[in-house]
Structure formats: C-alpha cells, structure tokens
Amino acid sequence: RKEVEQDPGPFNVPEGATVAFNCTYSNSASQSFFWYRQDCRKEPKLLMSVYSSGNEDGRFTAQLNRASQYISLLIRDSKLSDSATYLCVVNDWANAGNMLTFGGGTRLMVKP
C-alpha cells in the first residue's frame, strides 16, 4: 500500500517562530509532490508544489529528498493565520494517473 506519513502534531509555536514539518512517502515512483493547507472542516488548498531543487514562496520553503523519500516544509516568521493542518501530498503519475495520495496532516497552532 502506498502511504504518506506525517507527524500529526500538534506543533504549538509562538508568533514569529520558525517551524518545520516532515513527511515520508513509500512509493519510490512518485513524481509530483505538494503541500496543501487545510483549515478545520474546510477543503484542502494548494500551498505549494515541491520541486527537486527545493523552492521557496515567501515565508515558505519546501525541500524534496528523492533518495530518502522525504519532503519538508519550513515556515519562517509564523503568523497566527498560519494555524492550520498541513497536508503532504504525492502523485505517481505513471502508475496512478492524476490520483493524489494524502498524508494525515500535521497540525500547527501559532500562539500570540
């Protein structure tokens, strides 16, 4: 079974902190990687795609290590509005088309 594993948390951090989430995936054939954000009882929203060379979008930095099958998300200067569940998501296009496999999510709570 192809799985995506995440530490469920919660991670409780003060505003302004830097926090990092990790994710491992079992399917070595995975080709596309994403971080989604999900607020309580809401839909997942695409935060960023993750590229092999690593990529940054403002305060968010994503890294991919294909050899270790490991993805990370770093959030700098945390804001109260960053409080949410962060979902690691992978896709094995060659074998499963566009189906996304979701991790269980890591819950982040940013406190004043």
Task: Give the binding site for other proteins (CB under 8 A).
Answer: 32, 34, 36, 38, 41-46, 49, 87, 91, 93, 96-105
Rounded to a whole number of angstroms, the minimum distance from the CB of residue 103 to other proteins is 7
- 1/67 with CB nearer other proteins: 1
Contact in structure between 45 and 34 (CB atoms under 8 Å): no
Residue number, 25 or 34, with CB nearest to other proteins = 34
In the complex, the smallest distance separating the C-beta of residue 44 from other proteins, rounded to whole angstroms, is 5
What's the token pair of residue 103? 């991790």
H or E element: which one contains 87? strand 84-91
How far apart (Å, rounded) are the C-alpha atoms in residues 28 and 24?
10
